[in-house]
Amino acid sequence: MDKTMLELQGMTMSEEHLARMKGIVLPANDKARSVADEKLRFDDEPAHYTGFLDAGA
Amino acid sequence: MLELSLVEAAEAIRRRKVSSVELTKAALERAQKLGPKLNCFARLEPEEALAMARKADRAKKGAKRGLLHGVPLAHKDLFNRKGKIVGCGAKICSDYVAESDATVVTRMSAAGSVTLGALHMAEFAFSPTGYNEHYGHARNPWNLEHVPGGSSSGSGAALAARIIYGSLGSDTGGSIRLPSAMCGLTGLKPTLTRVSRAGVMPLSHSIDCVGPLARSARDCARLMQVIAGADPADPSASSRPVPRYEAALDGKVKGLRIAVPRGYYYDPVVPEVRKRLEDSLDVLRRMGAKVVEVDVPDIPAINTFMHILMTVEAATVHRRWLKERRGDYADQVASRIEPGLFYPATRYCEALALRTKLTREFCNQTLVKADVLHLPGIPITVPTIDETTKGNPSDVARVIGLIGHCTRSLNYLGLPSIAVPCGFDAKGLPVGFQLAGRPFSEAQLLRAVDAYQRVTDWHRRAPSL
């Protein structure tokens, strides 16, 4: 999968560097996905965010 | 003269007690003397600075003057200035010449400020220590073996060394607040969208903020008055009216409710930093503020979403250069951007979509029972350059990770936060706290910090150089 991502980005990377990236991205991805599974609803639109800030949260 | 605050310097010029040329010459002399030692300037522009100062001094008596008339300043090397190189601390941008001024540069010029040149910074603003492999480390004026903090490293070093009176920086994960905390300065990361980012090198467009570093809250208030507000060149800039920040500084904190979070932010704080933080709370208590403890939500989750937004957006900016000129990046910098090439687009969109919910959750949990949140600046004492570059890689990574421990979550949440000096560690390096608040509560934060600075003198202490 990581090699596919590199191919999609048109990049190359050594195996060692790829393993480093995997060590950073996989745990973060898993954490973010589990929080999103728990909290995200279909109508949570990113476009609302600055309006929400402007309204003083 | 260079011991004056920014506001005092502006007032001295207005009353013609000193000329802009005198102040600018003094600042340039100090920059020439200390600049190389601290490695804080990317480029010094003495002739142009003096020409600006002469022009300021020629202004007729009674003529309308800006809030910064004749005051010598310098800013991080990522703000576009027409016809000037904007190096961004990067080899890749070493010959990039801006075609127009950034909006904040235009506003600073309109306010009458004199620009001494461009200040050194971490490569592409990608380091909390100020690390720069290409152009060397900027040095902490309190101890040259220590990091000044980054990424606005030159701003921190030049201000603490009394070369300039104020500086603009940018803050994506702590880049204004970290050098402020580590150099004994006051630095404000405004609410996301409070200040225009037009003409500013992007690191991460949904997180980047522009704000002031100065020696006091009052000086920050003056700089914010000049730069804040709507901008047709940056549609994301908020059109909310800009308060009169200096007018809000009445020296009062009586009744202010200050939340101290349990858990995440204070967990890794070392004892000598903890003592200074507790002292700062005692001062505020004695002034009539009420301190309450609060729980915080899942901050590591917020940091994870922040990492996803920052790296994906940075990778979008840098992808072609990473492919074609990888060798022109420091490995430490490229390696911090490259994770952004791997996150699925769904994670990125989730990080954006959850922002409102997580910010509301954070505010409801921490800022309902309180007006402001008291946090450490950095939870450890200011590290040496060697501690952040040499030795066991996992130790180095741990120290670097701890530096941004208390700052980066606020960037994802878009909340304003101000770093404030509150003492020194055993080696004489500064310790600082942060006050964070609800969106657009900059006036309240500045008011609280100004009150604190009326009864303390940490912000007036200067390193001996």
Q: DSSP string spanning A3-47?
A: HHHHHHHT----HHHHHHHHHHHHHHHHHHHHHHHHH--TT--TT
Question: Which one of B155, B170, B175, B206 is the catalytic residue?
Answer: B175
The CA distance from B444 to B252, in Å, is: 10
Mean pLDDT, chain A, whole residue set:
88
- Is residue B335 part of the annotated active site? The answer reads no
Mutation pick from B313, B324, B354, B440 vs chain A, by most beta carbons of A within 10 Å, is B354
Cα angle A22, B205, B410; round to 5: 80
Cα angle B223, B228, B230; round to 5: 160
The CA distance from B239 to B85, in Å, is: 31
Residue written as token pair 């029972």: B369
The CA distance from B225 to B54, in Å, is: 24
Give domain status of residue A25, yes or no.
Answer: yes
Q: With beta carbons less than 8 A apart as the criterion, state whether A44 and B355 touch.
A: no
CATH of B6-460, one of 3.20.10.10, 2.120.10.60, 3.40.50.10490, 3.90.1300.10: 3.90.1300.10
The CA distance from B150 to B154, in Å, is: 8
Domain that includes residue A22, residue range: 12-38
Number of domains in chain A: 1
The CA distance from B310 to B266, in Å, is: 24
Residue written as token pair 């959750």: B361
Contacts of A44 in chain B (CB under 8 A): 353-354, 356-357
Cβ distance of B363 and A57 shorter than 8 Å: yes
The CA distance from A16 to B241, in Å, is: 52
CA quadruple B172, B189, B380, B158: dihedral positive or negative? positive
Token pair in block for residue B429: 């390096």
Give domain status of residue A19, yes or no.
Answer: yes
Total length of chain A? 57
Give domain status of residue A30, yes or no.
Answer: yes
| Partners of residue B169 on adjacent β-strands | B211
* Residue A54: per-residue pLDDT: 80
CB neighbour list of residue B202: distance below 8 Å, 6 or more residues apart: B208, B313, B317
| Residue A19 touches partner B, C-beta closer than 8 Å | no
| Partners of residue B291 on adjacent β-strands | B258
Give domain status of residue A20, yes or no.
Answer: yes
Residue B404 parent element (H or E): none
- From first to last of its 465 residues, what are the pLDDT tens digits of chain B? 888 999 999 999 999 999 999 999 999 999 999 999 999 999 999 999 999 999 999 988 778 899 999 999 999 999 999 999 999 999 999 999 999 999 999 999 999 999 999 999 999 999 999 999 999 999 999 999 999 999 999 999 999 999 999 999 999 999 999 999 999 999 999 999 999 999 999 999 999 999 999 999 999 999 999 999 999 999 999 999 999 999 999 999 999 999 999 999 999 999 999 999 999 999 999 999 999 999 999 999 999 999 999 999 999 999 999 999 999 999 989 999 999 999 999 999 999 999 999 999 999 999 999 999 999 999 999 999 999 999 898 899 999 999 999 999 999 999 999 999 999 999 999 999 999 999 999 999 999 999 999 999 999 999 999
CB neighbour list of residue B399: distance below 8 Å, 6 or more residues apart: B380, B383, B387, B388
* Residue B187 DSSP code: E
Smallest CA-to-CA distance from B264 within B302, B232, B307 is with: B302
Give domain status of residue A24, yes or no.
Answer: yes
With 60 as the cut, is the pLDDT of residue A1 above it? Answer: no
- For residue B237, give the chain A residue with the closest CA: A50
Give domain status of residue A23, yes or no.
Answer: yes
Phi and psi at residue B87, to the nearest 5°: -80, -20
| Residue A29 touches partner B, C-beta closer than 8 Å | yes
Smallest CA-to-CA distance from B294 within B261, B263, B257, B251 is with: B261
Q: Residue B242 CB: number of other CB atoms within 10 A?
A: 19
The alpha-helical segments, DSSP class H, found in B244-298 are 271-286
CA quadruple B98, B99, B103, B105: dihedral positive or negative? positive
Give domain status of residue A57, yes or no.
Answer: no
CB neighbour list of residue B324: distance below 8 Å, 6 or more residues apart: none
The CA distance from B228 to B408, in Å, is: 22
- Is residue B196 part of the annotated active site? The answer reads no
